[in-house]
Amino acid sequence: MSVTELSSVMSGFSGAALCLISLFLVIGQLRAVYRLSGSGRKGMFALSACNLIFGFMLFTMLMDFARYTEKPEMHGALLAFQKSLYHMPWLICAAAEAASAVILGICLIAAARHRSSHLSADDIREAINRMPEGIAVSATDGTVLLSNLKMNELNRLLTGRALYNIGRLWQTVTEGGEEQSGRYLIPTAKGSVWMFAREPLLIGEREYSRLTASDVTERYRIIEELRRNNAHLLELRSRMKAVTDLSGDMFIAQEESAARVALHNQLGQVLLMCRHYFEHEQDSDPVMVYMTTRQMNLFLLGEAEEPIREQGDDLQQALSMTQSIHVKAELTGGVPQNETARGILAMAIRECAANTVKHAEGDTLYADIQRKGSDFVFTLKNNGKAPKDVVTESGGLLSLRKSVEAAGGEMRIESLPHFILTIRIHSNG
């Protein structure tokens, strides 16, 4: 059986197919080398590079042979080694291309697996560009090293030019924005409001500057609404003073005190809910914050009969209040059924929960309830920071003491090393 030489097929369709397949293999090998170049897989990269060199040599050889086939008079220019290849069986060349294609497939699969399990610089860049917040990193002199699309868009809205220097953008923000504890609120021409913050960024031993921008349009609208209604709070003060002047007997004084305590508790609850929303927007319910704030505003404006309607008795309402400001109340011992003891416990839980958020920066309140003879002993503490100094009784704590002593009980506060509130209430229930 005769063997068809490579020289016999180069001038026909088979030769053209071999050249075309060889060209596609070279293109694929280049792609494989590029994908594996930064993968850290040195063995696969070396295999891919060798396959590229072999494929390029094979493609060059086939193109040379095609040229010599078109011009037979040039056969004498072939070297002895080239002539031996020129007259080899064409199936050997086809097998070499097939082997190269298999190696190419292995390299591309390895590159694809590495890409699916590792982040590349392009992936990180794309993720940063898709962020809804603006972010930019610069050298200490303000030269921009990294910025996403949102920060570039904000820079054009505020300055009308491309972002080259963070210092210039920050100057525009500080001059035209409203300062908020080191951050700046600034509106854009599109009607949105953004909060800008700049802080140092230390990577290794080198210092950089990081500029971030967050969309606070909705929160800013709520703040502006509260500001517009601030004048009505003065009217509320006058109304409360008028009520005080008209309190002529003990019953009215007690009713007024209860109303003040309720208003203090509910207003504090609303403010703490708003504070938690601003600091932890991702785990807050914006609809609940909006509805509660709106109801309180309507009450302060005299357009509603009561600020917040809650279900259950005082203790149930106090526990509901702790949940609304994202404080977990853990009660141990038997919950008292006596109305006076439950009321005092409810007041203590409200006050300690509010102080846990405002002063201790904690999120859990522990209330231990013990029955000692005919007395109930309540011990309350939290998981927050210890007081920096001796706790001074004022506001809610002072009102709580008055209520405890009016009920014939005792109240003791320990400030150091941790805050502990102890209340003893006499009860026959």
pLDDT of residue 253: 44
In the chain the first and final C-alpha atoms are separated, in Å, by 114
Please give the model's pTM, rounded to 2 decimal places. 0.38
Class of residue 142 by CB neighbours under 10 A (exposed 0-12, middle 13-18, buried 19+) = middle
**C-beta of residue 79 within 8 angstroms of C-beta of residue 85:** no
Question: Using a CB cutoff of 8 Å and minimum separation of 24, what contacts does 253-259 make?
Answer: 257/399
Domain residue ranges of the chain, discontinuous segments joined by +:
6-118, 122-215, 217-309, 326-429
Task: Tell me the C-alpha distance between 373 and 331, whole Å.
Answer: 20
**C-beta of residue 331 within 8 angstroms of C-beta of residue 369:** yes
**C-beta of residue 378 within 8 angstroms of C-beta of residue 344:** yes
Bond prior to 307 in cis (omega within 30° of 0): no
pLDDT of residue 325: 80
pLDDT of residue 370: 92
What CATH topology corresponds to 122-215? Beta-Lactamase (3.30.450)
Question: Which token pair is 186?
Answer: 């600034």
Q: Pairing state of beta strands 364-372 and 328-332? A: parallel
Give me the numbers of helices (H) and strands (E) for the chain, helices first please: 15, 11
Q: Is 191 helix (H, G, I), strand (E, B) or coil?
A: coil
How many residues are present in the chain?
429
- What is the spatial order of strands in the sheet that 328-332 belongs to? 328-332, 364-372, 375-382, 420-426, 410-414
Residues in the chain with pLDDT < 50? 1-2, 73-74, 77, 248-255, 287, 429
pLDDT of residue 290: 53
What CATH topology corresponds to 326-429? Heat Shock Protein 90 (3.30.565)
Supply the DSSP string of 102-143, one letter for each residue.
Answer: HHHHHHHHHHHHHHHHS--HHHHHHHHHT-SSEEEEE-TT-B
| Identity of the residue numbered 130 | R
Task: Tell me the C-alpha distance between 347 and 353, whole Å.
Answer: 10
Closest alpha carbon to 146 in 162, 125, 132: 125
